[in-house]
């Protein structure tokens, strides 16, 4: 089946091309090109595959970094006890705006991802392989075309998920496969355990696209050759998405432990005012720390950072850091599932405080309110979204402390907000307040407290408010019952 070449990101590598092998010569590796570029794949069997994953220290590349072999053993133990074959799930629902590595793999090297999933399916006697992709992404076309080109050890299918941040959370993905709303489960449940956490209540082995591709590379190379690059504790390579102001991001493959500075240089980027590592659930680093930061989980953790999903953004000196952060904070708050206190109150409160802080001449209490809201959001969420968002915002307040002081003591830093931090095009619903009609009645804030905050004079603090799906009921109540007809609900496509 012929697939039109996807208009996708450029792939580069430093030192070694493994996951990105052949992408300098092929826009997309169909099965014929894939077999020419990569060595033959041998099936190691159940014990051999587990031993291989342990020998190379394979960990999840979607953010949490959980050891693959430990997750697989837990899944198989439950499968053996239940007498039910497991389900293999490929998580390619990359809703992180700053990350595109999984989208690139599924669009341009889909067979490498399918190789890894097929190895596990054959070795573990899986019932099915399910590949989750974001609706509208190139993988929506590329993955089914790849499935049609080859035989797999069990049935396989693709499921398209809403292109939202929380769609990539493992529980949300499993719920989507099971035909439920694609939001994290209200109560945490491990996919490996089956039951409510698994696909069709089966024990489910779920990893992101890069993890499966890394497994296929390790099976081809063997433990010793795989560990020829990288660090002793984290051998092999890692995929990064390096975001560039005013240009498409680059997906770059580097040996684990490579310093960040040469990666930025290779992409034509300077550290600027600060560098975000790990994406919007990651952490900010001071420029002086960033240039010498080793790109490994242990190396970044020692600096207070995190590798996360491998997304990197350098913030130029010419843009206002707090204005940039406030935009992302508002987006992250609207992207939540709204199922727990931290997402319903903590993140919106923090986002509102950051908007006020970015505007300049803010009271010191605004900063304290933001820190309190983020502190309360940590550790109590139904998923990792509140914790990751809090880390992103709290480290920003520390790294950009001088800018925070400038916005507290005066009109601000004087720099415009250039929109450097990547965000998807505005879509969905928003509330709009018509100042020519608003009389400061305040009923809207009573009916939609998650959306509308009132200033000291009783008027809404914002005229345009993004509305998450879980907030639409309150938004419609505010519109329908506003005595002055000053509130409108607009939908953007």
> Six-digit token pair at 227?
């560990």
Q: Percent of the chain scored above 70 by pLDDT?
A: 98
What's the pLDDT score for residue 6?
45
pTM of this structure: 0.90
Q: For the chain, how are helix, strand and coil distributed in percent, rounded to 5?
A: 45, 15, 40
Place of tokens 């595959």: 49
**Residue 1: band (very low, low, confident or very high) from pLDDT cuts 50, 70, 90:** very low
Tell me the β-bridge partners of 96.
none
Place of tokens 């240009």: 247
pLDDT in tens, 294-326: 999 999 999 999 999 899 999 999 999 999 999
Place of tokens 């952490």: 283
What's the pLDDT score for residue 83?
94
pLDDT in tens, 92-111: 999 889 999 999 999 999 99
**For the CA atoms of 189, 194, 200, 206, what is the dihedral angle to 10 degrees?**
80
> Six-digit token pair at 126?
């899986």
Of the listed ranges 3-17, 156-170, 315-329, the one predicted with least confidence: 3-17
What's the pLDDT score for residue 491?
81
SS3 state of residue 168: helix
**110-124 vs 45-55: helix axis angle to the nearest 10?**
130
What's the pLDDT score for residue 4?
47
**401-409 vs 364-377: helix axis angle to the nearest 10?**
140
Burial of 335 (0-12, 13-18, 19+ CB in 10 A): buried
What is the chain's mean pLDDT, rounded? 91
Positive or negative: CA dihedral 329, 334, 336, 341: positive
Whole-number Å distance between alpha carbons of 76 and 86: 7
What's the pLDDT score for residue 111?
98
What's the pLDDT score for residue 458?
86
Q: Residue 171 above 80 pLDDT? A: yes
Distances (CA, A) of 296 to 59, 61, 259, 391, 461: 12, 11, 9, 18, 42
Average pLDDT over residues 57-72: 90
User: Which of the pair, 339 or 139, is modelled with greater confidence?
Assistant: 139
* 40-66 CB burial, b ≥16 within 10 A, e <16: ebeebeeeebbebbbbbbbbbbbbebe
Contact 111, 39 (CB under 8 A): no
> Six-digit token pair at 384?
């990792």
Q: Which residues contact residue 306 at a Cβ distance below 8 angstroms, ignoring those fewer than 6 apart? A: 277, 278, 281, 282, 283, 297, 300, 391
What's the pLDDT score for residue 7?
54
Q: For 232, how many CA atoms within 13 A lie in the half-sphere containing its CB?
A: 0
**Residue 379: band (very low, low, confident or very high) from pLDDT cuts 50, 70, 90:** confident
What's the pLDDT score for residue 8?
64
Q: Are strands 128-134 and 156-161 parallel, antiparallel or unpaired?
A: parallel
SS3 state of residue 193: helix
What's the pLDDT score for residue 5?
45
Q: Residue 283 phi/psi, 5° resolution? A: -145, 155
pLDDT in tens, 233-289: 999 999 999 999 888 999 999 999 999 999 999 999 999 999 999 999 999 999 999
Whole-number Å distance between alpha carbons of 191 and 206: 7
């Amino acid at each position: 089946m012929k697939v039109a070449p996807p208009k996708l990101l450029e792939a580069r590598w430093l030192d070694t091309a493994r996951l990105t092998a052949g992408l300098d010569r092929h826009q997309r590796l169909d099965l014929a090109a894939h077999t020419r570029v990569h060595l033959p794949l041998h099936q190691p069997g159940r014990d051999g595959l587990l031993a291989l994953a342990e020998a190379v220290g394979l960990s999840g590349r979607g953010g949490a970094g959980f050891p693959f072999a430990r997750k697989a053993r837990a899944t198989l133990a439950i499968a053996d006890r239940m007498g039910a074959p497991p389900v293999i799930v490929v998580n390619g629902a990359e809703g992180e705006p700053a990350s595109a590595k999984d989208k690139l793999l599924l669009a341009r090297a889909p067979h490498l991802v399918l190789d890894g999933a097929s190895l596990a399916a054959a070795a573990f006697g899986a019932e099915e392989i399910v590949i989750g992709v974001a609706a509208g992404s190139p993988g929506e076309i590329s993955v089914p075309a790849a499935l049609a080109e080859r035989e797999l050890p069990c049935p396989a299918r693709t499921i398209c998920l809403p292109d939202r941040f929380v769609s990539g959370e493992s529980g949300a993905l499993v719920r989507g496969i099971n035909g439920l709303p694609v939001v994290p489960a209200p109560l945490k449940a491990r996919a490996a355990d089956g039951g409510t956490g698994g696909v069709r209540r089966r024990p489910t082995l779920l990893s992101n696209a890069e993890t499966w591709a890394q497994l296929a590379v390790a099976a081809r190379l063997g433990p010793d050759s795989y560990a020829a690059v990288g660090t002793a504790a984290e051998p092999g390579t890692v995929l990064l998405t390096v975001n560039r102001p005013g240009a498409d991001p680059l997906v770059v493959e580097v040996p684990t432990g490579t310093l960040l500075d040469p990666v930025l240089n290779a992409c034509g980027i300077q550290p600027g005012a600060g560098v975000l590592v790990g994406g919007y659930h990651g952490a900010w680093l001071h420029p002086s720390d960033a240039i010498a930061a080793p790109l490994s989980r242990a190396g970044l953790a020692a600096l207070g950072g995190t590798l996360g999903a491998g997304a990197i953004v350098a913030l130029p000196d010419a843009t206002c850091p707090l204005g940039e952060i406030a935009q992302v904070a508002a987006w992250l708050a609207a992207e939540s599932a709204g199922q727990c206190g931290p997402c319903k109150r903590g993140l919106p409160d923090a986002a509102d405080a950051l908007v006020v802080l970015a505007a300049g001449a803010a009271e010191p209490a605004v900063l304290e309110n933001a820190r309190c809201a983020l502190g309360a959001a940590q550790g109590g969420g139904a998923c990792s979204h509140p914790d990751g968002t809090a880390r992103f915002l709290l480290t920003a307040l520390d790294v950009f402390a001088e800018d925070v002081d400038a916005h507290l003591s005066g009109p601000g830093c004087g720099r415009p907000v250039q929109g450097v931090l990547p965000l998807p095009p505005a879509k969905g619903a928003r509330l709009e307040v018509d100042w020519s009609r608003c009389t400061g009645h305040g009923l809207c804030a009573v009916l939609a407290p998650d959306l509308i905050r009132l200033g000291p004079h009783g008027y809404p603090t914002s005229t345009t408010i993004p509305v998450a799906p879980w907030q639409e009921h309150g938004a419609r109540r505010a519109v329908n019952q506003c005595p002055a007809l000053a509130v409108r609900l607009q939908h953007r496509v």
